[in-house]
Amino acid sequence: MIDCKQGLFKFDLTNEEEERARLLHENAIIIDMLFQGPLSPSAIREEISNNLKDRCEPFKDDMMTYSGMSSKLISRMSVNDEIPEFKDEWYKSGITAGNRQLNLSSPESIIMSMAEVQQQFDSFAWLSKAVTAADIRAAKQQNLKAGIITAQETHGLGTNLELLEALYDFGLRVLQLTYNTQNYIGAGCAEKSNAGITNFGITFIERLNELGIIVDTGHCGKQTTLDACRYSKKPVIASHTGVENIFNHMRCKSDEEIMAIANTGGVIGVFAMPWFVHDDPNQTTINHVLDHIDYIINLVGVDHVGIGTDWPMSDVTWSLIYFKENIAPKLGFAKGNGPSTESIIGFEKYSYFINFTRGLLARGYSDAEIQKIIGRNWLRVFEEVCG
């Protein structure tokens, strides 16, 4: 049963509409294609946060280790059942499938993140690895949760296509071509050159198509996105982005990119990151996120939009502040350009995911349209590419 009593955003729905939203959300296959949850700073107890800070403090001289240490410890504590909110938040959210993310930034990170992800599947009887659309449907039928293995960068692969095949065998099914900057495949959205896909990038996309891995352009530059749509023979996605014409940010997509993705049969996932959807991150509500969804639907139709929240993180506030001040600038984000500690009003926790369903219902979408937006569009692409 979905918990509708806490975290409800004010949409002025009638009691009948609230019940309709509850039943729709409870029965739908829901997919978050950039699922950093199920935890969030507000879902992690203060005593755990303080304990983590004490454990991490000796490593503060090593910036990168210190920055990522709390989230790794949270993951370890979750699989050891020390943070029961991990399961509770996921089930309260109603989300059927969310991605479990690999870090492909270096050979070492590939190995470590594979172990961390696999440990979740091995430790949680209620979490299954989804390598086909049938796996996601089965999870829904059995009241389980499905993890889709994804990655946001390719740097650690170099030009080793055999390693890509090994990752496919492990379960990798969605791969973002670039993360903000330039790599062997193409130019990211923070690259001023806007250089597009390289010759190797064309070969790489062909191999993704052959294996059955979805081409993701979330952090890609404009020309890289357009080129990916040109060269891919399978649907292309942007797992987590926004609309440039609503908020002009490097992480948002132009109308041309949105139409190109839709023309491949793909899906544009809208994120819930306050700094990327509205000009005041302290006053960004779920309605601002829904505005981006509305725009995409009006531009390319309801079959080509989904949700890839990408926020909040499964981390604690002090760690996020450190990341904002010390790490984000190294990843191509300008000061104050996110990520930070703000969250969408109406989506402070993953257990509040029903607010998407309620908000779409308040905007007049039919049950069938809402089902597509919150999951079935992603499921269609997953089935077309992955089987």
Confidence (pLDDT) at 333:
74
Confidence (pLDDT) at 65:
84
315 class by beta-carbon count within 10 Å (0-12 exposed, 13-18 middle, 19+ buried): buried
Residue 2, pLDDT > 90, answer: no
Contact 208, 229 (CB under 8 A): no
Q: Which residue, among 23, 13, 40, 17, has the nearest Cα to 94 in the 3D structure?
A: 23
Distance CA 133, CA 117 (A): 20
Terminal Cα-to-Cα distance of the chain (whole angstroms):
30
Average pLDDT, the chain: 95
- The arithmetic mean of pLDDT across residues 197-202, rounded, is 98
Confidence (pLDDT) at 1:
38
Confidence (pLDDT) at 337:
72
For residue 97, give the 3-state DSSP assignment.
strand
299-318 residue pLDDT tens: 999 999 999 999 999 999 99
pLDDT-derived band at 324, boundaries 50, 70, 90: confident
149-161 residue pLDDT tens: 999 999 999 999 9
Distance CA 66, CA 183 (A): 26
Distance CA 120, CA 98 (A): 13
Confidence (pLDDT) at 64:
80
% of the chain at pLDDT higher than 70: 98
Q: Which residue, among 85, 12, 20, 14, has the nearest Cα to 48 in the 3D structure?
A: 85
Confidence (pLDDT) at 109:
95
Structure tokens at 257: 């990119």
Residue 3, pLDDT > 60, answer: no
Residue 172, pLDDT > 90, answer: yes
pLDDT-derived band at 5, boundaries 50, 70, 90: low
55-100 residue pLDDT tens: 999 988 888 888 889 999 999 999 999 999 999 999 999 999 999 9
- The arithmetic mean of pLDDT across residues 104-125, rounded, is 96
Sign of CA dihedral 115, 328, 175, 193: negative
Residue 280, pLDDT > 50, answer: yes
Residue 4, pLDDT > 50, answer: no
Confidence (pLDDT) at 336:
62
Confidence (pLDDT) at 340:
78
18-53 residue pLDDT tens: 999 999 999 999 999 999 999 999 999 999 999 999
Distance CA 299, CA 270 (A): 14
Which carries the bigger pLDDT value, residue 16 or residue 338? 16
235-278 residue pLDDT tens: 999 999 999 999 999 999 999 999 999 999 999 999 999 999 99
Residue 331, pLDDT > 80, answer: no
